[in-house]
Structure 1
C-alpha cells in the first residue's frame, strides 16, 4: 500500500533524527494495513517495515504509524445527533432528550460548552493534556502477570488545559457509573497525591493546585468527559459489525444525498449497537445522572 504522508523523505527525516547522524541510506520501505477493516475510525493505522544502512551497518525497523486517511474525502467527522443516544436508552430516554434540549435552548449549546472547557482559561491550573486517554491508547508492561509500567501513545489530540479534562475523559469512557459513584473521592485524592509528587520531582510547588481546586475543576470539566462518552461509547462498546467505520464513509458530504445517507447509517448503527449491547445505554444514562448531580441538566 501507499500513503501520501508516509513518504521515503519523511522516513529518512525521522531516521536521521532518531539515529543522530546524517549517514543514513534508506533501502526499502514496506507499508501494510495495521488494523482490520472496521477498526480504523478517525485515522488509519499503518504497519511500516524499513530497511536502512546506518553508518554502513544494516538495520531493520518495524513501526506502527497512525495517520490521516490517504483520501481526505474518505473520512469527514460528522456532528452526531447526541439525542439519538438517549432515545435508545429505554423508558427514561425521552426525559433525557427533553432535558438536553432545554439546556441547549436556555443555557448553551452543549457542544460549544464542551469545546470551551478545553481552553486553558477555563480553569486556573493547566497542564499539557494527552487529549485521548482511553485504555486502547495505553501500553502496559507486565512482570509476573502484574502491570508495572504504562506508556501513553497517540498524541494527536494534545492540548493545554485543566488536568481534569484528561481525567474526566478517561473516567467516563473507561469506567462504569457504579465505580465512579462508589470511589470518586478516593480516585481524586489518589490522583492529587500523584500529581503533587510529580510537581515536587519537577521542582515545582505542589500547593499550586489544591485538592479542593481539583475537585472543583473536576465537577466543572466532568461535562467534557460526559459529552465525549456519548460519542465514543456506542462505538467502543459496540459489536464490530454494528460500528459505522471510516471505510464505509466514502463520499462528498457537500452532496445532500450523501449527507442523508450517512445520517441514516449513523442512526441505524447507533440503534443496533445500543440494542445489542445494553451496557452502552446504562453507562450513558449513568453519566447523564452525574451531570444532573453536577448541576448541568435537570429532570
Structure 2
C-alpha cells in the first residue's frame, strides 16, 4: 500500500519541542559544509533548519549515542547485504563516498570524490550521469539516517510536517537534488524508526515538498546495535510499493560498521 504524505508549511508548537542552545564552537566547526544558512535558520551538521527543528535533530543524535559524538564522526565503513547480495559504503565526510554492490557476477563501484565522480565498470554517459545522481542520493540518505548529518554535496533543509504515521514524529529532509527523505521518529525516545523517499521535487529548490506527495519506498529499522558508542540499525526491511499497491519487502542487513577507522582519502582516488 502506498504511503501517502501530506506536507504542510510550518512546524510543531515550540512548547512541545526541547530547547536547544546556540551551536558551540565545536559544533559549528564540525558542521562546516560550505552551506550558508538562510535568514532565520541555523546550519548544524550540514543541515539547515530553524532553532526548534535543530532541537529535534539534537535529540535524535542524543538517542543514537550523543549529539557531539555524532557531529564529530569523520568517516564510516558500512558493510552488509541486501537480500543476500553484498553491499558496502565507505564515507569520508563532508564530501566523499564509495559505494559497492554485487550485481550480475561483478562488483560495481561508484566513487564520489568531492566534485569528481567515477565508476567501475564504466558505462555510457547517460547511465553514468544517472548513477552519479543515485550515488549522491545514497550519500545524503545514509548520512541522515545513520548520523543525522548531511554532506556538503547538496543543500539539505529539515522541517517538521504536521502530519504523518500515527504515533510517530515526522522529520522531512528536503534536498536540492530533487528528492526528500522522510524520517519517522519515536516521539518519546527520538530514535529513528523508518525512512521513506519522497521524489519528484524541483532540483535546486530546498523548500518543503509539494503539498501532497506519495512515498513508494520505505525502510524500517528492525534492530539496532552499538558500534563505537553509536547505535546503528543492523536489521532493516526495505519495502518497494508499486503504483498498483503491491508491496515487495526485501531484507537489508549491516554486519560490519567501523567509525573513524578504515577510510582514507586514497580510497576515493580513481
Question: Highest CA radius of gyration, 1 or 2?
Answer: 1
Structure with more relative contact order (C-alpha pairs < 8 Å, separation 6 or more): 2
Tell me if both proteins adopt one fold, taking TM over 0.5 as the criterion: no
Q: Higher strand proportion, which one?
A: 2
Q: Higher helix proportion, which one?
A: 1
